[in-house]
Amino acid sequence: MKILVIPGSLRTGSHNARLAALASKELTLAEADVTRISLADYPLPLFDAGLAAELPAAAVALKRMVMAHQGVFITSPEYSASVTPLMKNAIDWISRGRDRGEPNYAAFKGRVFAIGAASSGSGGGMRSLMALRQILELGCGALVLPEQISVPRADQAFDDMDNLKDEALAAALRTLARRLVELAGVIS
């Protein structure tokens, strides 16, 4: 089972990049073939519908990367009670690309998404997760697992080996990873 992991932050020392790395580890332990990318490797201009007729090469490459996997795990920090502009822009570009005969939102169909967030605040990025779920499910028609992972006080949540200190959160991440692999196997 091929699973793509996308952290929605480029910040050095990002809690969500750490969560994405830990999710990658758990997905590998669940016997998935994991690819973790950085959106820095897919530089995209700010989405403009006028430019969408001819997709930037990075948008085409990112869409193809998503489509080459049966499952996608996205971690997203919370900016202004929503997802990062980086993540929203990437989703907008991916959603617009269509090859001949392909249905709308093809990159979001036929695969399963899992979401997570880590935040130094007490909310753990929950508002980001609500917004991301709405974008993926309602906006793009994606199947998003009802389970999700929210890591509050992320600046204190990881140990020196980048594992979660809280065993309940660690167990929730393991369960989410296994569920993603399991359901992606059924859908594909």
Region of 161 (left: φ > 0; alpha: ψ -120 to 50; beta: rest) is: alpha
The whole-number pLDDT of residue 20 equals: 98
Cβ density class 105-116: b for 16+ within 10 Å, e for less: bbbbeebbbbbb
pLDDT in tens, 161-177: 999 999 999 999 999 99
The whole-number pLDDT of residue 188 equals: 66
pLDDT in tens, 85-134: 999 999 999 998 777 778 889 999 999 999 999 999 999 999 999 999 99
Cβ density class 15-37: b for 16+ within 10 Å, e for less: bbbbbbbbbbbbbeebebebbbb
Fold of 2-187: Rossmann fold (3.40.50)
Dist. CA 69–CA 111, nearest whole Å: 7
